[in-house]
Structure 1
C-alpha cells in the first residue's frame, strides 16, 4: 500500500507510486496492512527522512506480542531487509530515481539507486506504530489503539501473507538487482569456465568423500550416517568430523562397523572448521556435504558423481531437496529447487540448494570454507566464490532431505546474526566481482590493441 502525507493533513492513499509522487506532499509511505501510527509518528518519520544522508526512515513497532526492535541497516543488497511494515521516503528524493516505473520493486530500486548517491536507510529506535496484520476485533486491542491515538485509514485492514513472488514480481526484482550490478560494475556476463577437468580419478583417490560435520547430535547422527552408507555406489568414503560433542555422538559413530567410515575427533570449533578438517583428510575427487541432522536418498552419490563426470566444466553441482519435519515426514509443497539460480541472481538469493557436490580441487583453489562464517553462511560464501570462476550446475532431482527442527543451526542463530553474516558475504562478493569485471575488461582492451 502507498500513501502520502503532509503536516496538518490526513494520510492520503494512492493506487500507485506515480499517483503518490504527483500529490504535492513531502512524505511518501509504504505500508503493509494493519499499520496504526501513534500520535506524532508521521512528524517523527518526516524529521528523520529529511536529514542529510537518509534514503528512508523506519522504526521499531509494537504488536500484540510485544515490541519489535528496528535493526540497524547493515548494507543488505537484497530486497528482504526487515524494515518493518512502515517505511517513509522523501518524495523529492524518490522522484529522480525513476522508481515509479516499477509496480512491485519500486522500493528496492529506489533504495539501491539512493545508496549510490550516498543516502542510506535510518532506523528510529522508539516504536512509532502498532502492527496488527489480522486486525483481531478484540475490545482490549481497540482500547489500547485508541489510548495511543492511532491513525487509521481505508485499506489498512488488508493482511499480507508471507511473500511468494508471482512471476511478474520476481522479474521486477531481478531487473532492479541486475541494473544495480551493472551500474556498479559487478554484473558477470556468461563466461567460459577458467578450465575444464579430466574424467576419472587419480592414484590413491576414491571418487567421492561425504563430509558430515557434527556436534551434539546423538539423536540424528545415526540416521545421517545410515543414509550415507546405504548408497547404490561403491567407490566412496564417509568422514564424520566431530567438534568435541558432549553427548553420545562419538559413541554412536563408533558403533558403525564399516571400513568406509572414518571419525575425526576435533577440538571445539565451527562447522567451517570441521568441514576444512574433513576436506584436508578426504581422498575423494568430489566432496559431498551432509548435515548431521539431514539425510541422503540411496542414489545421491551415484547421481552427483555421474553428473560431474559428464559435465567437465562444472566446479559444483547442486540437486533439489525435500523439506521434512523432525521425524523425516515430507512437508507439503516442500521440494526446493532453487530454479532462480544464475551466477548473478545467487548474490541476491539466500542459497543455492542441496546436496552440494564440489570438485575437491576447486574447493582447495578457493581456500576451503571461510571460518569467519563458521556456523552460518560458510557454504553460501563458497558457492559465490566458485560461481565467479566455474559453472555451478543443477541436477534436477530430489537427492537430499532437509530436516526442520528447533535445534537446527538456522533455528539457533539469531535473525540479526544470520542477516549480518549473509550481508558481509554478499558485499565481499560484490567487490570481488567488480575486480573481475574490471580485469576482464582490461584484458579485452589489451587483446584488441
Structure 2
C-alpha cells in the first residue's frame, strides 16, 4: 500500500493539468498513487491526462457530477491511509510530499497536516499570511484551524493531507454546495481536529483573475453556515471565521442587488470581528462596489479586499 494517495478531480483544466501532474511525478518522495477523475470535461483535459503513462496513476472518467461529488469519488477510490488533496490547476514543489511524510511520521497521533502555500498571480508569486502569533519561517506548530485562518485559510485543497479516518468521522464534501465545499469541509475538520502546520511554502495556488462582479455563482450557490451557528456561540474563533465569510457573502449580495441575502448575513455579523476597512466596504452601494471590483488589484495594494479575508 502506498504511503499517500494523491486525489485530483478535473473539469476543463486542459491548460493546467499537465503541469499539475508533472509536479506530482517529480516529487522526491515517490511512494504514492494518483487517483484522478475526469469529471465530464468538455475540453481536451482527458487527452492531456492520457499522455501520462506512469503506473502510479489510476484514471477514471465519468459524466459531470460537480466538484463535491467528484472529490468524494476520488477519495473513496484511494488505497492509502493518507490522502493528499490537489486541485487540477495548482502544483506542488518537488519536496511537498517529503515534507508531508515528515509531518505524518513525527506527529503520528494527529490526522490533519498542512504546509504554507504561495499564490501565483499574473506570473508572480506572493506569500500567504496566517493569523498565528510569532510564527517563524519553517516552523512546525499544532494550531487551531479557525484562529489560524483569519488572514488566509491554513487549509487549502492543494496543501492538505488528511488521514482517511477524518472522512469516517466528519463525512465527505457536501455535493449540494456549488462553491465553497472546501470551506464547509474545513469547518467540520476544525471542530474536531487540530492542524499540524509547516510554515514553509511547498505548493502553489493559481489565483483566478476573475472580477467578483462577473462571478457566475450567486449567493444562493455559495456555502452557508446556518448549521454551525450553535457551535459559534461557545467558540469565538469559529464565530470570527464565519463572520469573515459572511462579510464576503454580503459583498457578493450587494453586487447582485440581493437585499434579502445581504440582510440575512449582515445581521449575524459581529462588527467587532471585521476590520475598519471591511466595515467601510459594507457601507458602500452596488455601483461603488462594482467599480471597486473592476479595479480590485489596485484596491488590494491599498489594503482593501473584497474577498473573505483582511
> Partners of 2:214 and 2:100 in 1: how far apart?
28
The residue that corresponds to 2:176 in the other structure is 372
For residue 131 of structure 2, the aligned residue among 339, 354, 362 is: 339
The reply on whether 1:260 has 2:52 as its aligned counterpart is: no
Does 2:25 align with 1:229?
A: yes
* TM-score, normalised via structure 1 length: 0.46
Partner of 2:230: 431
Shift of 1:325: 2.8
Who is 2:274 aligned against?
A: none
1:370 is displaced (CA, Å) by 1.5
1:139-194 Cα distance to aligned partner (Å, 9 max, x none): xxxxxxxxxxxxxxxxxxxxxxxxxxxxxxxxxxxxxxxxxxxxxxxxxxxxxxxx
Question: 1:313-364: per-residue Cα shift (whole Å, max 9, x none)?
Answer: 32211211111135xx333xx1114234734436866633430111111123
Taking the aligned partners of 2:229 and 2:167, their CA distance within structure 1 comes to 20
Structure showing greater radius of gyration is: 1
Alpha-carbon distance between aligned partners in 1 of 2:233 and 2:69, rounded to the nearest angstrom: 29
5+ long unaligned stretches in structure 2: 133-142, 236-310
Q: Aligned to 1:384, what secondary structure does the other structure show?
A: helix
Structure 1's 348 and 395: CA in aligned 2 closer, same or farther, altered over 3 A?
Answer: closer
Higher strand share: 1
Q: Distance in 2 between matches of 1:277 and 1:411?
A: 30
Kindly indicate whether residue 126 of structure 2 is the aligned counterpart of residue 322 of structure 1.
no
Structure 2 equivalent of residue 245 of structure 1? 41
Task: Give RMSD over aligned pairs.
Answer: 2.9
Q: What do the CA deviations read for 1:405-427 (whole angstroms, capped 9, x no partner)?
A: 34799984547357x52xx23x3
1:352 to 143, 147, 154: 154
> How many equivalent pairs are there?
224
Corresponding residue number in structure 2 for 1:401: 204
CA distance in 1 between counterparts of 2:213 and 2:92 reads 19
Whose helix fraction is larger, Structure 1's or Structure 2's? Answer: 2
1:5-404 to structure 2, matched below 5 A, reads: 205-325=1-121, 329-331=123-125, 334-340=126-132, 342-345=144-147, 351-354=153-156, 355-373=159-177, 375-404=178-207
Q: Deviations over 1:226-260 (max 9, x none)?
A: 11111001210112111101111111111101001
* Residues 239 and 263, structure 1, Cα contact 8 Å, conserved in 2: yes
Q: 1:348 to 1:413 in 2, by over 3 A?
A: farther
Relative contact order: is structure 1 or structure 2 higher (C-alpha 8 Å, sep ≥ 6)?
A: 2
